[in-house]
Every structure is written in C-alpha cells, then in structure tokens.
Chains A and B, each alone.
Chain A
Amino acid sequence: VHHSAMSPEEFISRIMEAEPPEIYLMEDLKKPFTEASMMMSLTNLADKELVLMISWAKKIPGFVELSLTDQIHLLKCCWLEILMLGLMWRSVDHPGKLIFSPDFKLNREEGQCVEGIMEIFDMLLAATSRFRELKLQREEYVCLKAMILLNSNLCTSAPQTAEELESRNKLLRLLDSVIDALVWAISKMGLSTQQQTLRLGHLTMLLSHIRHVSNKGMDHLSTMKRKNVVLVYDLLLEMLDANT
C-alpha cells in the first residue's frame, strides 16, 4: 500500500514498526570519566545508532521513493536531531538524567568533565522536561522523528531538474502524511478541538529547539575532533563532515 492511500493509523503503525531496537554501548565504563573517555563513549554510541538510523529511515513509507540525493541530504542534515530526540524520549521519565543507552546514563554534573558539553546537556534536559510536561505519547514521538527527517532540508535547496522537482513533490506529500498521522495521534487523546490545536503547536515548536541544540552539538563535536580529544571515524565522520 502506498503511503498516500494509508490511513493515519496505518501510517503510524508502519513507523512504529520501523523503530530501531534498543541499543547498548557495551563498554566497561571507567568512572570517573575523563574528557576523552566520555567523548569516546558518546561517539561510539552515536556511530552504532547511525547505522540503525539508516535502516529506520528506509522503513518510513515513501522514503526510498525519494531521489537518492534527497535521501542522503535529509539524513546528513538531521542525524544529530534524530539522535537527540531519541535521547529525550529515553530520558523523559528520568528527570535530571540523560539516558544515552540502558548501560550509559549520565547526570547533568557528569558533563563537567567535557569542556562545553554541560551547556548542551542543559538544553537537552530542558527540552526533555518540556516533553515530560506535555506527557509525550509514543505515537507522537515517532511522528515527530519522521517530521524532523523529512523537514530537515526543505528550506536549504531549491529543485533544479525535473527529477529533483519530482522528488521534492514526493517529499511534500510524505510530510502531509506525517502531519496527518500526528494530528490523528493527538485526536485520540480525548482533548477538546482547541486543546488539540494547542498541543500540535507546542509539539512542533519544540522541533526548533531540537534543531538549535543539534547545531550546538555539531559545533561542539567538530571542535572536539579538531582538538584531537576524540577520534571521529567511519559513518559518524562522514555525517559530521557534511555539516562542517
């Protein structure tokens, strides 16, 4: 079934099925952390998650119908936002903590050992608190994640060729499906029409904060790489280089 013919309920169940499995860092964490050891754990985890993120994107109905160029651009633009939203979702029931993985949980104060990271931790914790206040539902979370992916590149490139225009139109229709899905997810919560509209506004406004934290995080990671605090390699290096 093509996504344009799917009900919002079907669409959501497809993106729920696309959710990546829980991932473990699987390292012996030696505490207290050093700047290098914490950055290494963070980047190792990010690299593992990125591989799963590509498989996740491919399972979003309609994503693989976009041009390969668009698929690459979208992922390169939004990967850190997607990682951060996932982190917020895992941390939503743990105030003051960032649950990077079940075997890698950090308190705000542990950010002290990496120069400049506490500011980012605080922004992540603040956005997580907003999601906690809003009592973010799983269905809403998966829609927001798909929205981040599909929206990430919309205002940075103008289609030139017929093929690019076709892919962009597909992208816009796909965004329609995701917005419909989010609206449907909100409508199931038993709120008044006005409360539903407000909730949609509040949830989507949070996306601009996530973009902001992601930009900060991207700068931070490229600084850490430049200063040789951490060795960035493989897929993570490719994704970072696309942004610097």
Chain B
Amino acid sequence: HTKLLQLLTTKPE
C-alpha cells in the first residue's frame, strides 16, 4: 500500500 492510499482510506480520528 502506498502512503497516499493509506492516508485516503484511514478513517479520521
């Protein structure tokens, strides 16, 4: 997984 994809798919806190 790329970092961009990771950041896009993580739920906001």
Contact = CB atoms under 8 A, between A and B. Distances in A.
Contact of A238 (B3, B9, B12): B3
Interface in B1-13: 2-5, 7-9, 12
Query: From DSSP, what is the main secondary structure of chain B's interface residues?
Result: helix
Contacts of A58: 8, 12
Nearest to A53: B7
Query: From DSSP, what is the main secondary structure of chain A's interface residues?
Result: helix
A55 B5 CA distance: 12
Interface residues of A, number: 14
B4 A54 contact: yes
B9 A75 contact: no
B10 to A, nearest CB: 9
Contacts of B3: 234-235, 238
A58 B2 CA distance: 17
Nearest to A239: B4
A73 to B, nearest CB: 11
B12 A72 contact: no
Nearest to A236: B3
Contacts of A54: 4, 7-8
A76 B4 contact: yes
B4 A235 contact: yes
A72 B8 contact: yes
B4 to A, nearest CB: 6
Contacts of A71: 8
Interface string A30-62: 000000000000000000000100110011000
Nearest to A76: B4
A231 interface: no
Interface in A75-96: 75-76
7 contacts: A58-B8, A59-B12, A72-B8, A75-B8, A235-B7, A238-B2, A239-B4
